[in-house]
Amino acid sequence: MPDGRRTTTGFWSRLLSSPIPGGGPVEISPNWFASVMGTGIVANAAVSLPGGGPGMLWFGRVIWFAAALLLLGLSIAYIVHWLVYPDKHHDYRHNPVMAQFYGAPPMAFMTVAAGILLVWGPELPTWAIGCSWTLWLLGTAGGLVTAVWVPFRLFTSFDVPKDGAFGGWLMPVVPPMVSAATGALLVPHAATGVLRETMFYACYAMFGLSLMAAFIIITLIWNRLAHFGTSGSPRVPTLWIVLGPLGQSITAAGTLGAVAFLAVRPELAHAFDLFAVLYGVPVWGFAMLWAALATLLTIRARRQNMSFALTWWAFTFPVGTCVTGAIQLAHHTELVTFEVMAWLAFVGLLCAWLLVGWRTGRGLARGELLRPPPAGQPTSFKGKLVD
């Protein structure tokens, strides 16, 4: 029996080290799941666009299928990698930067779960709805754990430099917001009565949990940018993650407002429906401000020779939440302007997804993305490198 275990472990060790030029184990860290998030949101946004038609529906189904296969493959590879190289995952958990990305796997699960309901339509078989529930519950449980565990580690164990705040700090606290937005799609599939009402209010509680934490972190990021600026490091694309909680909160408020009449009494349902607009429009304005700032800072970083890294997937999912947020605002306000904004944001999302997907594929083929990341990246103080 022990010989069999050694043989199996040796097989996986050889397999997981073979793509690296010169040998050594591959790096399969939690931030890889951002590729599932970025791919899945393309599908979910495509089928939700107003006036998309059958063509967009089938496009969304193809992309969702790719996201689902990617999630399955990554999950298997991640578990095997964890079993073969437990020391590496110990290092991930104790790295103050990498630990933030443990929020990516829960969001990947929930993005695919939402796609089952959005992409494949209302006439789903019972087993498909069950799959969506299962993925949502797994993602929600994982997201609630990361929302507590990672900030706790940040407060008590990690050595955080003065310029340490970055967009990645949002990753562990955003999953409950994704739970709220995707959970709203499951409210009609919950049993009528107390269970459905509890599900609805639980989604709103997770909305608030994530929103308050996100606003605190966004303030810290703004403070860091004001005092330390940015360099040309691969950390710059994580500034786009700020759009994630903004766009996803607009989406969550909209989807919850749309299903409120199925879960709570009419006067409360009307208030929740109204809140989708009263909250969504002002936050959309701030999201557009941040998108403009992030664009300028990204262009500046590229001029400073910012290299490609998995952080570039931050160009996809957060932008995708702005697409779904604009779709919800268009639904609740019936304003054509938001429909146009949704389409424009989707074009940007599609371009970003194609670019990042291509660069990721090239990096995988060369083995570059499977090597250990650099020990650290310099920060800057108002444009001057300080470390």
What tens digit of pLDDT does each residue of 337-369 get?
Answer: 999 999 999 999 999 999 999 999 998 888 777
The pLDDT-based confidence of 59 (bands split at 50, 70, 90) is very high
Mean pLDDT confidence for 208-215: 97
Is residue 377 included in any domain, yes or no?
no
Which CATH number is 358's domain given?
1.50.10.150
What backbone phi and psi angles, to 5 degrees, belong to 323? -65, -50
Mean pLDDT confidence for 236-250: 96
The pLDDT-based confidence of 295 (bands split at 50, 70, 90) is very high
Which tops the pLDDT comparison, 280 or 125?
Answer: 280
Is residue 373 included in any domain, yes or no?
no
The pLDDT-based confidence of 376 (bands split at 50, 70, 90) is very low
Checking if the pLDDT of 212 tops 90, the result is yes
Is residue 191 included in any domain, yes or no?
yes
Checking if the pLDDT of 325 tops 50, the result is yes
Checking if the pLDDT of 135 tops 80, the result is yes
pLDDT score, position 373? 55
pLDDT score, position 317? 95
Checking if the pLDDT of 298 tops 50, the result is yes
Is residue 286 included in any domain, yes or no?
yes
| Number of domains comprising the chain | 1
pLDDT score, position 386? 33
Which tops the pLDDT comparison, 137 or 54?
Answer: 137
Copy the structure tokens of residue 300: 């500046």
Is residue 3 included in any domain, yes or no?
no
Is residue 68 included in any domain, yes or no?
yes
pLDDT score, position 375? 43
Q: What is the mean pLDDT of the chain?
A: 89
Conformational region of residue 51, where left means phi above 0, alpha means psi within -120 to 50, and beta covers everything else: left
DSSP per-residue string spanning 235-293: TGGGGGGGHHHHHHHHHHHHHHHHHHHHHS-HHHHHHHHHHHHHHHHHHHHHHHHHHHH
pTM for the predicted model, two decimal places? 0.89
The pLDDT-based confidence of 307 (bands split at 50, 70, 90) is confident
What tens digit of pLDDT does each residue of 149-204 get?
Answer: 999 999 999 988 888 899 999 999 999 999 999 999 999 999 999 999 999 999 99
- Are 98 and 153 within 8 A, CB to CB? no
What are the beta bridge partners of residue 384? 381
pLDDT score, position 381? 34
Per the structure, the complete domain to which residue 163 belongs is given by 38-363
pLDDT score, position 304? 87
Distance (Å, rounded) from C-alpha 138 to C-alpha 297?
36
pLDDT score, position 378? 38
The pLDDT-based confidence of 124 (bands split at 50, 70, 90) is confident
pLDDT score, position 377? 41
Is residue 23 included in any domain, yes or no?
no
Is residue 157 included in any domain, yes or no?
yes
Burial degree of 225 (CB within 10 A; 0-12, 13-18, 19+): middle
Task: Work out the percent of the chain whose per-residue pLDDT is above 70.
Answer: 89
Checking if the pLDDT of 8 tops 60, the result is no
Which residues are CB-contacts of 364 (< 8 A; sequence separation ≥ 6)? 19, 370
pLDDT score, position 225? 93
